[in-house]
Amino acid sequence: MRTEFTKYEGAGNDFILIDNRDGVFTPEAEAIARLCDRHFGIGADGVMTLARSAEIDCSMRYYNADGSEGEMCGNGARCFALFAEHLGIGGETKYFDAADGLHTARIRRSKGPAGEIELGMTAVREIRTGDGWWFLNTGVPHYVEFVDDLAATDVIGRGRIIRRDTARFPQGTNVNFVQVTGDGTIRVRTYERGVENETLACGTGATAAAIVANFALQPRTVRYAVSVPGGELAVRFSHEPGTQTYTDIRLTGPARRVFGGVFDSENF
């Protein structure tokens, strides 16, 4: 069977998008992993499928590069919203669900293949704290640690160990290292669970990092400019000081269609 795909990237976090409104594509873990392989496949950090939904615009499912399903992907969901826009689905604001619940995404700008997308994230209600680290779920689990020199941090070496520390983090975790560069400005590098590598950007990770920067260091700051290796993201939220509750969380950043093609399922 031949399946059409479109490749998108959001701040260098890259994805294979499949329009599955006809329900023909079956996402099997092994095939996903091979499609994402950068030498033997198309190459991507993950795969997203777009399916029909009875009540809202459409439905998103996200699979990591190793074939495992992730509940949510911030950059992926921004790419997904632009993909829906390119398919002519929904209005200026898209309503869709992911495995972590309902989302809205506003197309702030869209011209040709590229756009800027503002994504609504699920609320955060709990932040765990340990010795020099914080842990929260922004759709998927995230560990956050502050460092003085992000460029010199061994993101892959340290990330790989923390990611597998199931004594502390039973479902595993994405691992973010954060350098604070000012009030409301941070730099973030992320080791991603399911990709098992550092990626150029992670939207749920940038969101987790901004929330922890507020929680631990800058209680009055609710807007963050987040610099990641693949570009610039923005995070804002509402927060009642003294609580662990963060609502109206918005992640804004670029998304872009890169190319499209067709693959043969017998090959994957």
Smaller CB separation from ligand API, 13 or 227: 13
Mutual orientation of helices 203-216 and 74-86 as an angle, nearest 10°? 130
Six token digits for residue 72: 């949510």
- Kind and range of the H or E element at 35? helix 29-36
Instruction: For residue 267, give every residue at least 6 positions away whose Cβ sits within 8 Å of its Cβ, in sequence order, or none.
Output: none
Q: Check residue 14 for interaction with ligand API (CB under 6 A).
A: no
Binds ligand API by CB under 6 A, chosen from 67, 194, 230, 254: 194
Q: Check residue 64 for interaction with ligand API (CB under 6 A).
A: yes
Shortest gap between Cβ of 204 and ligand API (angstroms)? Answer: 3
Binds ligand API by CB under 6 A, chosen from 136, 159, 192, 237: 192
Q: Check residue 74 for interaction with ligand API (CB under 6 A).
A: yes
Q: Check residue 214 for interaction with ligand API (CB under 6 A).
A: no
Q: Which of 126, 8, 4 is nearest to 77 (CA)?
A: 8
Candidates 23-31, 70-78, 91-99, 148-156; binding stretch for ligand API (CB under 6 A): 70-78
Smaller CB separation from ligand API, 70 or 90: 70
Around Cβ 153, how many Cβ atoms within 10 Å?
17
Query: Token pair 């092994």 is at which residue?
Result: 30
Q: Check residue 230 for interaction with ligand API (CB under 6 A).
A: no
Q: Is residue 58 annotated as part of the catalytic site, yes or no?
A: no
Six token digits for residue 139: 């759709």
CA distance 224 to 9: 21
- With beta carbons less than 8 A apart as the criterion, state whether 68 and 29 touch: yes
Q: Check residue 73 for interaction with ligand API (CB under 6 A).
A: yes
Binds ligand API by CB under 6 A, chosen from 18, 36, 89, 202: 202
- Kind and range of the H or E element at 88? none
> What is the x/- site pattern for ligand API, positions 132-151, by CB under 6 A?
--------x-----------
DSSP 130-158: ETTEEEEESSSEEEEEE-S-STT--HHHH
- With beta carbons less than 8 A apart as the criterion, state whether 21 and 60 touch: no
Q: Is residue 202 annotated as part of the catalytic site, yes or no?
A: yes
Binds ligand API by CB under 6 A, chosen from 41, 67, 76, 115: 76
CA distance 241 to 205: 22
Q: Check residue 159 for interaction with ligand API (CB under 6 A).
A: no
Among residues 36, 58, 79, 202, the one annotated as catalytic is: 202
Binds ligand API by CB under 6 A, chosen from 6, 13, 20, 179: 13
CA-only gyration radius of the chain, Å: 18
Residue set of the binding site for substrate: 13, 64, 74-75, 174, 192-193, 203-204
Binding site, by residue number, is 13, 64, 74-75, 174, 192-193, 203-204
Which residues participate in catalysis according to the annotation? 73, 202
Q: Which residues bind ligand API (CB under 6 A)?
A: 13, 64, 70, 73-76, 140, 174, 192-195, 202-204
